[in-house]
Structure 1
Amino acid sequence: MEEIIKFLEHFFSVESIAHTEYRKIDNVENYLNSLKELNLLTINDKVDSEIGFGLSSMFKQHSKVFLDNMDLLPQICKRHLYKISEYNHPTYGKVWACYVSVANPVTVKVKSISSCLFISKIDDNLKIVALFNIDRNTNKWALRGGVENIEYYKLGKPVAIERLMSPENDEWSVEEYSKDR
């Protein structure tokens, strides 16, 4: 799973840079380039349901009021990676379910799981192929973008699980982390 961890570390870094570039003045071109690099790590060019990470295209500079408010937010930091579960999938072969925090975890007081990124090899390159977020009304995983033929609750038993960091101060996240899936 070392290859998956390295891929995610790169993704987290690119995502963090994109969020940072979004906050800068006179920076549309740099931001759009970082967003393009982020999207290259996903399957967005091959599916209708785009995987989003709280970032979208920017067509003009932010207003001064917006930028003044951005200065009040804490420094952007990378997501936490809690757990990786490997599965065999009939279409994609190996897929890895990667349980992660919000994009900028310093903005919350708990270490909680907020997303499950599914990674697979597409044309010999690792790509994020699906994004699931927890629906807090039902406490169930819901597809939020990517391929629709990865069904979270029909994956079967994982081939391998690697637990990297335990969530804290969030009962649901701790329970999810402990599950063998």
Structure 2
Amino acid sequence: MEEIKEFVINFTKQEAETIYLRRQPDLENYNKALQVMDDYSDESLHDTFGMIKLIQLYDQEYYEKWGGEKYPNTRHIYKISHYKDDKYGDVYLVYLSTGNPRDGIFTYGACLFLAKVDNRLKFIRKYIFGDEMLVKDKFEGGQGLEDISFNTLKKPINIERYLEPADDEDGMEHYLKDI
């Protein structure tokens, strides 16, 4: 599980770097960073983390507004659950905060499915934590590969918990479940 956690940590660092570079008026550096970030995911998840390849810079006002912001925080890792899947083999569900979480606030944001594709670890599916009716937060929708989901996975083999989403009642309820 240490290899998986290290992969996720490296992804969150790259995501923070890409967010930071998007705020700078350097198209080439931002697009290179985004390409590195996209390499962590299956192609079906490219452009699903709130950033897309740019063909021109934003207006100067954007850089004046965002360029001075502090370096983004990396996502919090709350829990990783390990499953076996008939098609993908070892599949890891990684429960994270949102990108660039606010200091000292611990809430669920996303669940990323991680598996080996062509012998390389890749995120293959992504869920956001929240429902359309704003009644109760839960994982809905989903983007990425269509042949895997919460419903296709059985019982987890192993679960490692790292940090409680203590500021999120629905997140804590989910965090404590053996899923």
TM-score (norm 1): 0.90
CA distance in 1, matches of 2:57, 2:82: 42
Letter in 1 for 2:7: F
CA distance in 2, matches of 1:65, 1:51: 24
Alpha-carbon spacing, 1:143–1:93, altered in 2? closer, same or farther (3 Å): farther
Residue 139 of structure 1: how far off its partner (Å): 3.0
Q: Which residue is equivalent to 1:14?
A: 14
Q: Which residue is equivalent to 2:144?
A: 146
Q: Which residue is equivalent to 1:128?
A: 123
Q: Which is further off, 140-149 or 166-175?
A: 140-149
Residue 110 of structure 1: how far off its partner (Å): 2.6
The alignment of Structure 1 onto Structure 2 pairs a total of residues equal to: 176
Q: Which residue is equivalent to 2:82?
A: 86
Contact 2:16-2:71 at 8 Å conserved across structures: no
Residue 142 of structure 1: how far off its partner (Å): 2.1
Q: Which residue is equivalent to 1:53?
A: 49
State yes or no: 1:98 paired with 2:98: no
Q: Which residue is equivalent to 1:32?
A: 31
Residue 75 of structure 1: how far off its partner (Å): 2.9
Q: Which residue is equivalent to 1:114?
A: 109
Contact 1:51-1:144 at 8 Å conserved across structures: no
Q: Per-residue CA shift, 1:87-119, capped at 9, x if unaligned?
A: 111110110000000110027x63111100100
Q: Which residue is equivalent to 1:43?
A: 42
CA distance in 1, matches of 2:107, 2:147: 26
Q: Which residue is equivalent to 1:166?
A: 164
Q: Per-residue CA shift, 1:132-176, capped at 9, x if unaligned?
A: 112333533124321011121342210100001111211011111
CA distance in 2, matches of 1:31, 1:168: 34
Letter in 1 for 2:55: F
Contact 1:20-1:76 at 8 Å conserved across structures: yes
Gaps of 5+ in 1: none
TM-score (norm 2): 0.91
Other structure's SS at 2:105 match? coil
Aligned-CA RMSD value: 1.7
Identity among equivalent positions (%) equals 30
Other structure's SS at 1:76 match? coil
Residue 121 of structure 1: how far off its partner (Å): 0.7
Q: Which residue is equivalent to 2:174?
A: 176
Gaps of 5+ in 2: none
